[in-house]
Amino acid sequence: MSQPPPPTDPLEGAGPIGGSTGLAIETRGLSKRFGHRLAVDGIDLAVPDGSVFGFLGPNGSGKTTTIRMLLGLAAADKGEIKVLGKQMPANLATVLPDVGALVEGPGFYPFLSGSANLMRLDAADRHASSATRRRRVAEALEQVGLSHAAGKKVRAYSLGMKQRLGLANALLRPRELLVLDEPTNGLDPQGTREVRGLVRSLAARGTTVFVSSHLLAEVEQMCTHIGVMSAGRLVAQGPLQELRSGGQAQVLVKTPDADAAARVLAHLGMVSDPAPGGVVGTRLDGLEPEAVVAALVAGGVRVRGFAVENASLEDRYVSLTGEGFDVAG
């Protein structure tokens, strides 16, 4: 299998991390090894302030390990980390109060209610005001659609409800940055839509949201920027539309003359594959669609339909990682 291309590096040529960069998260050469396995291999992340950044990659690609290093839950072997403009982990105590996180699934006391769990967690936060605790807990539960289950014991919660409660915990105080690892795990379609709407509303208020997910459709609808991990390396990052446009467009030709169409396209230097129904799909490779149609007609091909399809995020993902997407998580 060929190696994926190196990512476009927005930090290329820069010196050590420092100064105001307009980035909520910035890493340089971040690496982590477990025994002989290099789990994270020298990545340079650049997450813009106010963005919704989708962090994608197959299982075992290094996503969760990276998140754990960003939050001080695991020590990096090499590299630098800056979160909300401050070096990490040196400034964990001052940075983490402004960061809400849901990582590797929420953990709660099963014999306490959802509301009581949040009250205990908030009380453990020395930066949280006790005077406003009840109001903030109620507001967080309402934000994630759990007001009706506030008094129910968590052991009776479904997986999706526990995931919502984890989100509520991350939202107990205003945050500059939210780090969410698979936030829609276990949610039904309605819950997934609600989380998507919540993330958008938080971003609209200026919160940066860093989302690790395996759901491409959700990422495309929710995120403004994307980073793709493969085998511990960051193989691409940037605005969503920019990454999409990096993929090759395809043309679809509907014709009863599929063989003749394939010969014309081959003459244009385009690789084609006849498909059922006389449709030939091929890479556009920079040619103008009008020129392709003109060549087909000049070659005696009866063109009944012609369309240009831009590469989807899934196409781009597969081309970068060489793997299909694991929709099962």
Residue whose C-alpha is closest to residue 45's, from 13, 83, 19: 83
Q: And the tokens for 142?
A: 């309402």
Q: Do domains 23-245 and 250-309 have the same CATH topology?
A: no
Q: List per-residue pLDDT tens for the chain, 329 residues long.
A: 444 444 444 444 444 454 447 999 999 999 999 999 999 999 999 999 999 999 988 888 899 999 999 999 999 999 999 999 999 999 999 999 999 998 866 679 999 999 999 999 999 888 888 899 999 999 999 988 899 999 999 999 988 888 889 889 988 988 899 999 888 877 788 878 888 888 888 888 889 999 998 777 788 888 999 999 988 999 989 998 877 766 566 788 888 988 898 888 888 888 777 766 666 677 766 778 899 999 999 999 999 888 887 666 776 777 676 665 443 33
Map out the domains of the chain as residue ranges: 23-245, 250-309
State the pLDDT at residue 216. 78
Is the peptide bond prior to 239 cis by the omega test (within 30 degrees of 0)?
A: no
CATH class belonging to 250-309: alpha beta
- The answer to pTM > 0.75 is no
Which amino acid belongs to residue 236?
A: A
Gap between the Cα atoms of 50 and 27, Å rounded: 17
3-state secondary structure (DSSP) of residue 5: coil
**The predicted structure's pLDDT at residue 75:** 95
Q: Specify the CATH number for 23-245; select among 3.40.50.300, 3.20.20.70, 3.30.2130.10, 3.40.640.10.
A: 3.40.50.300
Strand 99-102 relative to strand 177-181: parallel, antiparallel, unpaired? parallel
Nearest Cα neighbor of 23 from 176, 140, 125 is 176
Q: In this structure, what are the phi and psi dihedrals at residue 196, rounded to the nearest 5 degrees?
A: -60, -45
Which residues fall within 8 angstroms of residue 40, CB to CB, at 6 or more apart? 30, 31, 32, 62, 65, 66, 69, 76, 232
The rounded distance, in Å, linking the Cα atoms of 292 and 270 is 10
Nearest to 209 by CA among 79, 49, 5, 324: 49
Distances (CA, A) of 217 to 37, 61, 230, 284: 31, 20, 19, 24
What is the DSSP annotation of 26-86?
EEEEEEEEETTEEEEEEE--EEETT-EEEEE--TTSSHHHHHHHHTTSS--SEEEEEETTE
Give CA–CA dist 259/302, Å, rounded. Answer: 11
